[in-house]
Every structure is written in structure tokens, then in C-alpha cells.
Chains A and B, each alone.
Chain A
Amino acid sequence: MAKETPIKARTVDFSFYYGSKQALYNISIPMHQHRVTAFIGPSGCGKSTFLRSINRMNDLIDGTRHTGLMEVDGTDVYSPEVDVTTLRRRVGMVFQKSTPFPKSIYENITYGLSLTQNKPKSELDGIVESCLRRAALWDEVKDRLHHSALGLSGGQQQRLCIARAVSINPEILLMDEPCSALDPISTGKVEELITELKDAYTIVLVTHNMQQAARVSDYTGFFLMGRLIEFDRTRTIFTSPAQKETEDYITGRFG
């Protein structure tokens, strides 16, 4: 991970407000292509808010506003000419809680594709298989593709959600604590997956688990009370942090 890759997305002085309450203060972060950028920090520090600002999921909440710049591929995602559905197709998201639709496994994967185009079934079959393989789920579910996705275990459901997110071939994949509800074995599988997926996507990961950030990420940002305390290469953050708060947090003195 020596070489710097181009910047895929970045924020400059980004602040975010829920009504009158300010949630983020002047955040400036670059997110590099084909790298995993992880955000750590205690609950309520604003890392999820930041993640959800990238694909404008915060638009769903009434009374939010922002200042500063949030760029993906050099375009401000909040500028009026950006179509939010197109943005979200290019910036996919995996949530903390697995959210399979109450449909079959097959339909869960094809849903995103069917929103914009009608592909022949033969082509869809291939896409479903490749997405499920990529999410390391194919061998477990290939015999019950047309069964309800809700019959899967929690870890399988989360991997299905990842397969669903990659089905529409996003360029950036946002992951909001994807392993917080999973057991260690499933977590291991998802982490492996993240490492594999970063060759194809730019991954932004929010996690409570510092070991996870250390294991899978290339860059780490530490959030505290809505402020970005420190942002650097993961190795630097975990070996020689510049700020005292960061050191206190990663050594477990608070948080």
C-alpha cells in the first residue's frame, strides 16, 4: 500500500446540521480510489452522518442542511444538477442492519438492475451468480435462489446485502458498521470480502471495531464530537498517532 492512488471523493470544510444542531464541523477528507478508508470514533461522533452525506441519504431526514464541499469525481454532489438516484447508483451503500427485501434471494439481487433496465433472464442469471460469488455466498444459497431472503442467517443476509449493493456496479461502496450485528466467523468473511472488493471499488467503512479498521483499511479517520481529530494512513494512526485524543481512544483509555 505504498503507492498513492487518485482521489475518488473528497470533502472540503464540510459541516452538517440537523435542524439547529450541528453534527459535523469542517470535515476535510480525501478518499482514495481502490483503497479502504475507515472511520472510527465513539457512538454519536458523526461518522455515520458523514457517510450518509456522501450518497445524500441524509436528504430523507427533514430539516437538514450543510455547508462546504462534498465532491465525488470532482463534482459537488449537492449541486442542483446532480440527480440523486444516479448518484446513489454510483455510490452504493451497505447498512448496519441487514435489510433484505421480503422477496426471493434472486429478486433481491436483480432489484437494483431492474430499476433502470430490462435485461434478459439468461444475462440476469449470470449477474446473480457473479454477485453472489463475489459476496462469497453462492455456494451456500445456489440451491435456494428462489426462496425468501429472510430465511437466511444474519451473516448470510448481510453478505446478500453486499451482493445486492455490488449488483449495480457502484464506484464507491459505503459500509456503515457492516459487521456490528455479526458473529466473528461472519465478520471474518465480510472482512475478507472487503479486502477483495477494494480492487474494484473505493470503499468507505464506518466501524466501532478498531481491530477491524486496523485489519482492513488503508486510511483511517478518527472522529470525536463531530470533529475529525486525525486522518492518516492506518498504520500511522495505529502506531504513532499525532493527537493525544487518538492515542487515548485507540489504546482504550476512553470511548
Chain B
Amino acid sequence: MNPFRATSRHVGEHVAEWSIRIVASFSIIVIFLIFIFVFREAMGLFAGPKEAAEAVTQVPADDLRPEVYNPDVMSLEERLAAEAAAAESQDVYNPDAVLAQEPAASNEQDVYNPDAVLAQEPAASNEQEVYNPEVELGTPAPTTSVATPETPAAELADRSLWDKLTGSVWQPVSEIPKYGMVPLFIGTAKTTIVAILIGAPLGILAALYTAFFASRRLRNIVKPAIELLAGFPSVVIGFFCLSIIATYLQDLLGTTFRLNALVGGIGLSITVIPLVYSIAEEALSSVPRSLREASLALGSTEWQTAYRVMLPAAAPGVFAAVLLGVGRAFGETMIALMATGNAPLASWSILEPARTFAATIGSEMGEVVWGSEHYGILFLIGSMLFVVSFGLNAITELYVKQRLIKRFQGK
């Protein structure tokens, strides 16, 4: 008899082991599948300019055209028939051209006019970036309504995807769709920066407080309370910002826009704080207790110990907490949708509305024409969000943990 035979194991053990393996690999596969499918939808953009251009051409030219949301279509056609081409170039739906000639002040009140800011820039620079069909058409006034949309389509096809995406106007559902992502980038950047500038210090200070200063009893109350905030539905936080913070902030600062990047950033910081807090707190608590005692035994105060010894020792972990906070603020959709004003302005002012990448998908995906260029671009944004948050997480996992280990092993 084999003296080394395995001791009998229960069938249940095998089942448990295998189900754990399957579930684990399944969750990894799901992450990859999500990325692959999201990116595949966006691939249509790169498949070939012809194909993409056709999609755009057909939509306005078909019978579908009246359904495309564009309030200016009717008035445009009427005017096209009635007026001379020279006069028309002002009336054609091209917000940049029109606004450039109007006083900027009148636009300031219009929250949902994305070009209010552009109006303050020289009109000439916009004309180059944004296609204006009338300039191309020259003097003869178009008599058919079909002629107008076809020309921009042909023109758009010539422009590279990169040029389209780097434009400064996001108007995906106008007659001449503009997919400039610059306003979305600015909107995302400014709300994220506001959220981190508010959320990270508060989260870290709260972590320092509960890790070193609070009595055990207080800590047992404060810690779960902050972490409870992480489980709040973001729509509730969004609604809270939309209805309460926005009003108070407008009363306080007297801002023109009730909903703006600052309100959105504050809303996002409410989700960032518990995340930064719990990770930073974990990092601070994992610093060996003996370091704290050694520092205190040298006659330092609690604050000196926390600030000069514990925080630097936990720095990689705290840095990881901030990075994950950035990822959270970057990808948060509902609060960004509700509290920022959701207007794609290319303005760095935090007191003006903003539109983030995530909120763009959230607000436009429901009405997009399936398979169109717009659809592809929304998925491209989705893949980008995925890559960025994946990257941030990867950095914290790989780089920061390595640093933390090195720090305590002294290599």
C-alpha cells in the first residue's frame, strides 16, 4: 500500500475549489470582453473614412432627415429659398459664425449655449476650424434642399478623424456634426481637478485624524460613517448638489450659472472623499506602530509624528489613494451629468458649466443613431475612459505597492 497516498478529500472541497477558479477567471474574462466590445464599436471610425462618411451622408439625405434633431433645419430652408447667398452666410446654422458677430454679453445668460465663450475669440480662427458650407458654395443659392447636406458630407470625408476629434466644438447632432473633444476634455479636467483639490486633502486629513488623533470610541463612529458615504447612490449625491449646493453656492458667490464645474466638482468630491479616506487610512494604519512610538519618544507631538514620520512613510499608499480618487472623479457619470450644467464649453473657468466624457456618454448614448459616426465616437470615449481608469489602477497596483514594499525593506 502506498504510504504517501492522499488523505481522502471531500467532493465538496473539489467543487468549491473549482467554482472559485471559474468565478475568478470569469470575472477577469468579463473585464477583457467589456473592453473588446466597447472598442469594437468604436472601431467603425477607423475602418475607413469612406464608410464612415457614407453613414453621415445618408442620414441627412434620407427621408429620416426631419427626425434628426436640429431646430434650425426648417428656418434654414425657408431662408435659403428667400434670401441671397451673401446674407445667408450669417443665418445658416453655424453658431460660431453667428455668435462671433453678436455681442458676447447677450449670450452669457444662455446656459445651454456652448459657444458663449467662443464668441469672445476672434471669429477668423473659428472659421478655419469649423466648416461653413456657404463659403464653399459661393454665390449661387442652392435651390434644392438635398444639395446642402451632401456638400459638407463630402468635405467631412476629407478631414481626418484626428482633425474632427480635436476641434473645439462638440455638436454631434447639428446638421453638420462637430465632434471636437476639446470642450469635453476641458470639462472633464476642470471638474476632476476641483474634485481632487477638495476631496484629496479632506480625505487624507480625515484619515490622519482617525488613524492617530481620535480616541478609539470616536474612531469606531467616524470610520464607518465616512465609509458609508462611499455606498451612497451617486444619483442621490447628484440630486443633493443640483438642488441644494448649487443654490447656496450661487447665493454665496453670485455666479451667472447656477450649475457649473465648481458645483459638479464638489459633488464629485463627495464620492472621492470616502475612497481617498479608506485607502489612505489603511496605508497610515499599516505603518508600523513602533515608528510612531519611536517618534513620540523623541519628544515630538502627535502632529509632528503624523506629519513628519507617518505620512511620509505611508506616502506611496496615500498617493495611490489620490490616484484612485482621480479615477473615480474621472469616470463618475451621474453626478457629472446632474450637477455640472452639462454644457460642452471650451472654457477653463470653474464657474461656467462643463461636460465630462462620462456624462457625454450618459446623456447622448440613449438617442444616438445606431452605427453612425456619433455612435462610434461615443464608444471611442468609452474605450478611452476604460483605458485611463485601467491605467490609473495599474499604476497604483504595480508601481505604488512596489515602492511601499521597498520603503519598509530598505532597498
Contact = CB atoms under 8 A, between A and B. Distances in A.
A178 to B, nearest CB: 13
B155 interface: no
Given A111-B308, A115-B304, A165 B215 contact: no
Among B215, B216, B290: residue with most chain A CB under 10 A: B290
Given A62-B215, A95-B293, A97-B290, A165 B410 contact: no
Contacts of B291: 99, 101-102
B407 interface: yes
Interface string B277-310: 0000000000010111111111111001000110
Given A99-B293, A101-B313, A89 B299 contact: yes
A55 B39 CA distance: 63
Contacts of B293: 57, 60, 95, 99
Nearest to B409: A150
Interface in A110-140: 111-112, 115-116
B409 to A, nearest CB: 7
A151 B409 CA distance: 8
A204 interface: no
Contact of B300 (A57, A115, A152): A115
Interface residues of A, number: 30
Nearest to A103: B312
Contact of A88 (B299, B308, B309): B299
B178 to A, nearest CB: 52
Contact of A112 (B216, B292, B298): B298
Nearest to A101: B309
A57 B288 CA distance: 16
A150 B296 contact: no
B409 A165 contact: no
Most A CB atoms within 10 A — which of B216, B292, B298, B309? Answer: B298
A168 interface: yes
B408 A161 contact: no
B411 interface: yes
Given A60-B293, A115-B304, A102 B298 contact: no
Given A62-B216, A101-B313, A93 B299 contact: no
Contacts of A87: 299
Interface in B62-80: none
B236 to A, nearest CB: 36
Nearest to A62: B216
A86 B312 contact: no
Nearest to A112: B298
B70 to A, nearest CB: 62
Interface in A158-211: 161, 164-165, 168
Contacts of A151: 410-411
A102 B297 contact: no
Interface in B128-162: none
A53 interface: no
Contacts of B309: 101, 111
A152 B293 CA distance: 20
Interface string A45-63: 0000000000101001010
A33 B18 CA distance: 69
A149 interface: yes
A35 B147 CA distance: 104
A239 interface: no
A60 B212 CA distance: 10
Contacts of A89: 298-299
Nearest to B407: A102
A89 B304 CA distance: 14
A93 B293 CA distance: 10
A18 B292 CA distance: 20
Contacts of B288: 99
A88 B297 contact: yes
Contacts of B407: 102, 150
A101 B408 contact: no
Contacts of B308: 111, 115
A101 B315 CA distance: 13
B299 A102 contact: no
Nearest to B411: A151
A85 B313 contact: no
Contacts of A148: 410
A168 B295 CA distance: 12
Contacts of A165: 297-298
A99 B298 contact: no
A168 B299 contact: yes
Interface string B378-408: 0000000000000000000000000000011
A221 interface: no
A201 to B, nearest CB: 15
B294 A86 contact: no
A107 B300 CA distance: 15
Contacts of A102: 291, 312-313, 407-408, 410
Given A111-B295, A161-B294, 14 more contacts: A92-B298, A95-B293, A99-B294, A101-B291, A102-B291, A102-B408, A111-B300, A112-B300, A115-B304, A150-B409, A151-B411, A152-B410, A165-B298, A168-B299
Interface of A: 55, 57, 60, 62, 85-89, 92-93, 95, 97, 99, 101-103, 111-112, 115-116, 148-152, 161, 164-165, 168
10 contacts: A60-B292, A62-B216, A86-B299, A93-B297, A111-B298, A115-B301, A115-B304, A150-B409, A150-B410, A168-B298
Interface of B: 215-216, 288, 290-301, 304, 308-309, 312-313, 407-411
Q: Which 4 residue pairs across A and B have the least CB separation, nearest first? A: A150-B410, A89-B299, A99-B294, A93-B297
